[in-house]
Amino acid sequence: MISTGSERAGGGNVPKQEGRALLRTTLASAVAILLALTVGLWLYSRDIARKMERQVLQSLQDVAAQNVLVIQREIEGKFQLMKTTAQRFDGENGVTDEFLLARLRSTVELYDMKRMGIAEADGKARTTDGETLDVGTRLYFRQSMTGKTVITDTMVDMVDGLTINVYSTPVYGGGTVKRVLFATYDTEHLRTLLDVPCFSGEGFSYIVDKNGDVVAAPRAGMDNVFAEMGSTGGEEQARAAVAQMRRDFSAGASNSVRYGAGGQERCVYYTPLQINDWYLLTAVPGQVLNERITPVLRVTDLICVLVALVFLLGAGRVVYSQYRAKQQVERLAYVDPLTGGYSAVRFQMLLPQQLAKNPGPAAFAVMDLDNFRMLNDVYGTAAGDDMLRAVWAAWRACLGPEELVTHRTADRFMILLFYRDEGQLRGRLQDFYTHLRAQAKNLDAPVPTPSIGVYPVPRPAPDMEVLYGRAAMARDTVKGNRRRIYAFYSEEMKA
C-alpha cells in the first residue's frame, strides 16, 4: 500500500511539473510577444511623432514661403516705384526743388509714405513735408550715389525720432548720378506685411538681419532675436539654437530650431529674404506642435496597454488617429481661418493646376477695399471681419467650380477667373460688386469700394510673382476712384 501510494505520488508529480513548465513557457512567450508588440508599437508611435512633427514643420515652411513672396513683391514694387519716379526727373536741369517736391507730394499721399525727399550730391536734402536735412552720413545716401536702389534696416527718423525704413534710388543727369531720391515709411508698413494669421493665430513672423537685429516684428520691445533667445531661460538649449542660427545666417541657409522661451518651448523656421542681409523668422509655440502630437501618443500608449486583448482594434485606432492628425495639419496650412476658404498657400498650389486644366482665356485679379482701415477703426475689427467674409461670399457666388478665390492678408484677395471675352469678364466684375452689396446689406458698416486689378494670363502662364505684380499695378490705378472699381493691366503701366 505504501508502495502504491508512492507511485501514485510520483506519478502525479510528473504531469504537474510539466504543466508548470508549460505554463511558464506560455507566460514567457506571452510576455515576450506582449513586450515585442509593446516595443514595436512604442517605436511606431515615436515614428508617428517624428512624421507629424515633420508635417507641422512643412506647413510652417509653407507659411514662411508665402510670407517671403509677399514681402519680396512689396519691396520690389516699391523699388520699381522709386526708379520710375527718379527717371521722370532725369535731365530736368533748371527745374526748382519746389517744383519737384510738389510733384512728389501726390506720390506720398497715394502710397501712404511718411515723406519723400531729394538729396543733392553734398547730402543736403529737402523733403515733401518742409524739412531740410543733411543725409550725407546716411548709408542709403552713399549707396544710391553709387547707383544702387536700396531699402534700409530699421533706423531712427531725424525729424521725430520714430522708427522708419527708407527706400532710396539714384537720380541721373547726363548719364551720371546727380542726386538721390528717397522715400520714408514708418516701420509699421513692414509689420503689416507680417500680419498673416497661421496656426490658428498662434504663429507669428518677424524680419531680422544677419546679426539678429530686428528689422520688423509683430510686437515692440524686441531689438535683437539672439539676445531675446538668450534671456528666455533654458540657457544650454538657447545657446545651441543661437549658434546654429548664426552658422546658417552666415551660410545663407534655411533651417529650423527649437528652444525654451519663458517656460515654454518655441519652434522657429528661418529663411533668407534675398533683400539686404535679411532673414524671415516664422515662430510657433512648441505647445501648438505638441497639441497635434500628444493626442496620438496618448492613444498609442493606451493601445500598448490593451494590445493583448485588442491589438487589431488598437492598430486601427493608430492609423485613424494618424489620418485625423494629418487632416488637422493640412487644414491649418490650407484653410483660411477667417473665411473658411482656401488659404493663400493652397491657392498658389491649385493655380497652375487649374490653368493647365482650362486652356481658354483666364484672368488673374487682385483686390482690396478702399478705406478698409478706417472701417476697422470706426466700426471695429469684428465688423471688418464680417465685411471680409461678405467679400469672399460675393466672389464665391460669382465663380464657377474651376475658378479660385483666396483671402491673402488684411483686406487683400486673389482671384482666378475664366471667361469667353473681355466684355463678359467686365460684366462679371460688375456682378461681383452687386453681389457684395447684397451680401453686406445686413451688416452695420457701409460697403467699401473695391479696387480690382486684372491681368489677362498669357500662355504659357508666368510665375505667381509676375501675375501678382502686374495685377497689383492695375489695381493701384483705380485705388480711391469711386467711378471705377477695376482696371486691366497694360504694358504702359510699367513705364
Sign of CA dihedral 74, 76, 80, 86: positive
State residue 304's pLDDT score. 64
Quick check: helix, strand or coil at residue 265?
Answer: strand
For 405, phi and psi rounded to 5 degrees?
Answer: -145, 145
The amino acid occupying position 150 is V
State residue 198's pLDDT score. 63
DSSP structure string for 402-457: T-EEEEEETTEEEEEEE-SSHHHHHHHHHHHHHHHHHHTTTSSSPPPPEEEEEEEP
Closest CA to 67 of 373, 220, 275, 353: 275
The verdict on pTM exceeding 0.75 is no
State residue 13's pLDDT score. 39
CA distance 240 to 226: 11
State residue 190's pLDDT score. 79
State residue 12's pLDDT score. 40
Strand 412-418: give its sheet, edge to edge.
404-409, 412-418, 362-369, 450-456, 486-488
Helices (H), 90-110: 97-110
* Tens digits of pLDDT across the chain (495 residues): 333 333 333 334 334 444 456 556 766 776 778 777 777 777 777 777 777 777 777 777 887 888 888 888 989 999 999 999 888 877 555 556 788 888 899 999 999 899 999 999 999 999 999 999 999 999 999 999 999 999 998 889 999 989 899 999 999 988 899 999 999 998 888 777 777 666 666 677 888 898 888 888 876 667 888 887 776 555 777 888 888 989 999 999 999 888 776 567 778 889 998 888 899 888 877 666 666 666 666 776 677 667 656 655 554 455 456 556 566 766 777 899 999 999 999 999 999 999 999 999 999 999 999 999 999 999 999 999 999 999 999 999 999 999 999 999 999 999 999 999 999 999 999 999 999 999 888 888 899 999 999 999 999 999 999 999 999 999 999 998 888 999 999 988 876
Strand 255-261: give its sheet, edge to edge.
214-216, 204-208, 279-285, 264-272, 255-261
CA distance 94 to 147: 22
Residue 322 CB partners (closer than 8 Å, separation 6+): 48, 51, 52, 296
CA distance 207 to 272: 10
State residue 423's pLDDT score. 95
Count other C-beta atoms under 10 Å from residue 148's C-beta. 13
Cross-strand partners of 163: 156
CA distance 355 to 363: 10
Where does residue 428 rank: exposed (0-12), middle (13-18), buried (19+ CB within 10 A)? middle
CA distance 366 to 445: 23
Sign of CA dihedral 440, 445, 449, 453: negative
Cross-strand partners of 488: 454
State residue 199's pLDDT score. 64
Which H or E run contains 158? none
Q: Which three cell numbers stand for residue 84?
A: 520710375
